[in-house]
Amino acid sequence: MEKKIVVLPGDGIGPEVTAEAIKVLRAVEKSFGCVFALQEALIGGAAYEAAGDPLPPETLAACRSADAVLMGAVGDPRQAAAPVDKRPEAGLLRIRKELGLYANLRPATVFPDLISLSCLRPERLGNGLDLLVVRELTGGLYFGEPAGEDRRDGVRRAFNTMLYTEEEIRRIARVGFAAARKRKARLCSVDKANVLAVSRLWREVVEETRGEFPDVELSHMYVDNCAMQLVLRPEQFDVLLTENLFGDILSDETAAIAGSLGLLPSASLSGPQGGAGLYEPVHGSAPDIAGQDRANPLASILSLAMMLDMSCGLPEAAAAVETAVRRTLREGYRTEDIAAGLPGTRLVGCREMGDLVAGRIARAASETSR
Ligand code: IPM
Ligand code: MG
């Protein structure tokens, strides 16, 4: 079986963390007898510098014909003054929209060996954190029209539009329900229905959809309360379903609870069944530490695991990658972002962390395929 993977290293630490994920992919190839044809393409600031466009047409065309896209990160201080539509982030928003990647899955777990990294006290964590944020990714305030700036009576104004159609809500609700079904079957839909018309429709449509998933327990929560409940008692949550901006904010909060942005993977999909998705770490391009072998490649490696499971039909390979990551952490290896204050730490750089995980794949493979 051959899979075509487009690799978009992007900016800052993107290229170095992605290189480690590729190392792990090559180890998977050896142990699982599958073949990956990789094609690299430009996105973000790197693409703007080379081609004057943060999402060149060749990149988009390559992604359209791929089985999956593995992305690093976008964001480059060199374009701070570039027009809004030329900034690296514009490339990311466009690729999401163009590929129809409306379903963003952001799992957040606290690794048992890293519990002391959480911003929460252990008694707040209870049995730990194991939740999934299902964020709508191609609608809401990010894309609603009209959006822009003008002047009225000499006064400058700026506006965005929060807009969702019932179809957009229904399809992401189905992804949320389906994801919950594979976990603890508890879905909490997060909105601001006490204030926003969009949220009232959101709640109505989510309610209409629940009939298709009678085995999933559904609740609703206002977003402000949810932000509070996440730090008070995170273990009450299994799957959080929410719109684009709320999901952006809440998923950073879950990252702080998990302990480091350097650990969280994500998948952006165009349907509930996986299919050709885009996989990227939740973290950004961290230009301040780029090129110094200091970045944590684990979020990228765990994004690769999601890709193997959801777009390549290789759940055993995905499990082997996760096992290899857990084992490496268990043995005390840490990049600097997750090293602080932990006893028995063996500090490593980005490349060594990648070597360690890749080196453990063969062993994890023989265990998962047993
Ligand atoms: C994210 C990021 C992006 C977003 C930015 C870089 C446009 O914060 O993926 O969470 O807001 O979606
Ligand atoms: Mg964000």
Residue 80 lies in a domain: yes
Atom of ligand 1 nearest to the CA of 88: 6
Q: What is the pLDDT of residue 259?
A: 85
- As given in the structure block, the two tokens for residue 73 are 């990160």
**Which ligand lies nearest to the CA atom of residue 281 in the structure?**
1
Shared-domain flag, residues 243 and 144: yes
Give kind and range of the element (H or E) at residue 147: strand 144-152
Q: What is the pLDDT of residue 369?
A: 65
- As given in the structure block, the two tokens for residue 153 are 């009576």
Torsion sign, CA atoms 212, 214, 216, 220:
positive
**Domain-ending residue, one of 206, 239, 258:** 258
What is the amino acid identity at position 143?
A: F
Pairing of strands 239-242, 2-10: unpaired
DSSP letter at 287? G
Shared-domain flag, residues 100 and 127: no
Shared-domain flag, residues 215 and 343: no
Report whether residue 43 contacts ligand 1, using a CB cutoff of 6 Å: no
Pairing of strands 103-109, 130-136: antiparallel
Residue 265 lies in a domain: no
Q: Is 293 a catalytic residue?
A: no
Give kind and range of the element (H or E) at residue 169: helix 166-181
Residue 294 lies in a domain: yes
pLDDT digits (tens, 9 = 90+) for 119-131: 999 888 887 789 9
Neighbours of 160 (CB within 10 A): 15
Q: What is the pLDDT of residue 98?
A: 96
How far is the C-alpha of 15 from the C-alpha of 244, rounded, in Å?
Answer: 27
Distance 360 CA to ligand 1 centre (A): 32
SS3 28: helix
How far is the C-alpha of 230 from the C-alpha of 234, rounded, in Å?
Answer: 5
Give kind and range of the element (H or E) at residue 212: none
Shared-domain flag, residues 222 and 174: yes
DSSP for 78-125? GGTTS-GGGSHHHHHHHHHHHTT--EEEEEEE--GGGGGGSSS-HHHH
Atom of ligand 1 nearest to the CA of 89: 7
**Listed residue (209, 213, 204) closest to 185, CA to CA:** 213
Structural domain containing residue 180: 119-258
SS3 205: helix
Q: What is the pLDDT of residue 355?
A: 98
Residue 362 neighbours by CB under 8 Å, 6+ apart: 27, 30, 31
Residue 273 lies in a domain: no
CA atoms within 13 A on the CB side of 291: 5
Q: Give the residue whose CA is nearest to atom 6 of ligand 1.
A: 89
Angle at 23 between CA 20 and CA 25, to 5 degrees: 115
Q: What is the pLDDT of residue 341?
A: 63
Q: Is 279 a catalytic residue?
A: no
Q: Is 30 a catalytic residue?
A: no
Report whether residue 76 contacts ligand 1, using a CB cutoff of 6 Å: no
Q: Which residues of the chain have pLDDT under 50?
A: none
Report whether residue 299 contacts ligand 1, using a CB cutoff of 6 Å: no
Shared-domain flag, residues 58 and 123: no
Residue 145 lies in a domain: yes
Shared-domain flag, residues 298 and 352: yes
Residue with tokens 């179809």: 167
For a ligand 1 pocket test, name from 79, 93, 142, 252 the mutation site with the most ligand atoms within 8 angstroms of its C-beta.
93
Residue 132 lies in a domain: yes
How far is the C-alpha of 120 from the C-alpha of 198, rounded, in Å?
Answer: 33
Shared-domain flag, residues 126 and 86: no
Residue 47 lies in a domain: yes
Domain total of the chain: 2
How far is the C-alpha of 39 from the C-alpha of 165, rounded, in Å?
Answer: 36
Residue 13 lies in a domain: yes
Pairing of strands 2-10, 68-73: parallel
Torsion sign, CA atoms 326, 328, 331, 337:
negative
Shared-domain flag, residues 252 and 127: yes
Shared-domain flag, residues 93 and 221: no
**Domain-ending residue, one of 235, 258, 281:** 258
- As given in the structure block, the two tokens for residue 86 are 């030329």
Shared-domain flag, residues 236 and 335: no
Residue with tokens 């539009």: 161
**261 contacts 300 by C-beta, under 8 angstroms:** no
SS3 192: coil
What is the amino acid identity at position 330?
A: R
First to last CA, the chain: 21
**173 contacts 211 by C-beta, under 8 angstroms:** no
Distance 53 CA to ligand 2 centre (A): 22
Shared-domain flag, residues 89 and 133: no
Shared-domain flag, residues 138 and 66: no
- As given in the structure block, the two tokens for residue 95 are 């690729």
CATH number at residue 73: 3.40.718.10
